[in-house]
Amino acid sequence: MKAVVYKGNRRFSVEDIPTPVPGPGQVLIKVKYSAICGTDVHAYLYEAAAVGSVMGHEYSGTIAMVGPSVTTWKEGDRVMGGGGAPPAGTELPLRDDPRYDYRTMGSSINSTRSYAEYVINKDWEIIGIPDGVSDQQAALCEPAGVAVRAVRKSAMRLGDSVAVLGAGPIGLFCIQAARAAGARAVYVSEPSASRAEAALSLGADAVVDPTSEDPVERIVELTGGVGPEVVFECASAKSTLSQAFNMARRDGQVMLVALAWEPTGVVPVEWMAREVTLATTFGTDPRDWTTALDLIREGKIDMDAMVTDAGFIGLDGVQEAFESLIKPTTQLQMVIEPWAG
């Protein structure tokens, strides 16, 4: 099968590698769509990916073969590559290790994942794609689940106003998840005109361009001079964490969603007297996947608006895609079709 192999030094190579064969308790999935995740882009940018690995963890497809002892799935089932609950005692370090560090422990996996024509999963890892959810929508369930988790773990309450800093894929999902959870108003800071347009179409009340006006002053003004109850920081730019603290209202909350791999400066004296709290979120649990699926099926999260025609690429377009994504970009979500071309 063809796969995109990471070679180190920010280089990918499309290679023919053996098609894996499922062992006991495993299934082989023919990948239909595989979205490019920001965490993979960070692993590429900061040389945190294992040389020889095949990245990719946001995907959908159909089961091509089941291994011995698998009884819950059959050939042809439509599935997503994740969302299942691990058996007791097999929890991943992300949730089980009391000293888990994503930067050093989460990016060194040397395995074949979904930037390939086929991928292996344990039978408990995957969940089925329900009627009413397309394969393309299902490939984006994981990042939608990230936003669901961020809103679910935040202090947001029905009728609150919120701000979202950054209208990349996760920010756009946070807008929709906050609306679905009952946000009264959603204000967004985003410099890209195309992303700002997408934010407005997906439920934002107003979008501030931080290159032309101060997003803190403007969003505080839009909230009647007090600031939003919750600020979802989805950008991880050098200034955005500071902006989030400075715009949150008294007793408000900053929910850190974006992964900042470099130091980001804050000046606590500017906002700590308002007793603003910081919360963090990371990844997903099965509950977040199933909630996201329900919102997708009900039309409360619009997946189709997340990907333009230019966002679909074949395996041979991955190198160029990653090179563009590590720079300031106007692109929304990029999705690989391994069998394209």
Domains annotated for the chain, with CATH where assigned, are 2-140+307-336 (3.90.180.10), 146-280 (3.40.50.720)
Of the candidates 197, 196, 228, the one whose C-alpha atom is nearest the C-alpha of residue 209 is 196
**Residue 36 DSSP symbol:** P
The enclosing H or E element of 217 equals helix 215-222
DSSP string for 290-328: HHHHHHHHTTSS-SGGG--GGGEE-GGGHHHHHHHHTS-
d(CA 79, CA 127): 6
Distance of CA 67 to the CA centre of its chain: 30
Quote the pLDDT of residue 310: 65
Q: Which two tokens stand for residue 239?
A: 């200034």
Q: Show the tokens assigned to 116.
A: 């390939």
- Give the up-direction half-sphere exposure of residue 252: CA atoms within 13 A in the CB hemisphere: 24
Question: At how many degrees (to 10) do helices 286-297 and 169-180 cross?
Answer: 80
Per-residue pLDDT of the chain (341 residues; tens, 9 = 90+): 999 999 999 999 999 999 999 999 999 999 999 999 988 998 899 888 889 999 999 999 999 999 999 999 999 999 999 999 888 877 777 787 888 887 777 765 667 899 999 999 999 999 999 999 999 999 999 999 999 999 999 999 999 999 999 999 999 999 999 999 999 999 999 999 999 999 999 999 999 999 999 999 999 999 999 999 999 999 988 899 999 999 999 999 999 999 888 888 899 999 999 999 999 999 999 999 999 999 999 999 998 888 877 689 999 999 999 998 887 666 778 999 999 86
Sign of dihedral through CA atoms 234, 142, 120, 101? positive
Query: Which neighbouring-strand residues pair with 312?
Result: 335
Q: Is-contact 208 240, C-beta < 8 A?
A: no
- State CA 88 to chain mean position distance: 26
Model pLDDT, residue 104: 77
User: Measuring CA to CA, which residue among 207, 190, 198, 196 is closest to residue 306?
Assistant: 198
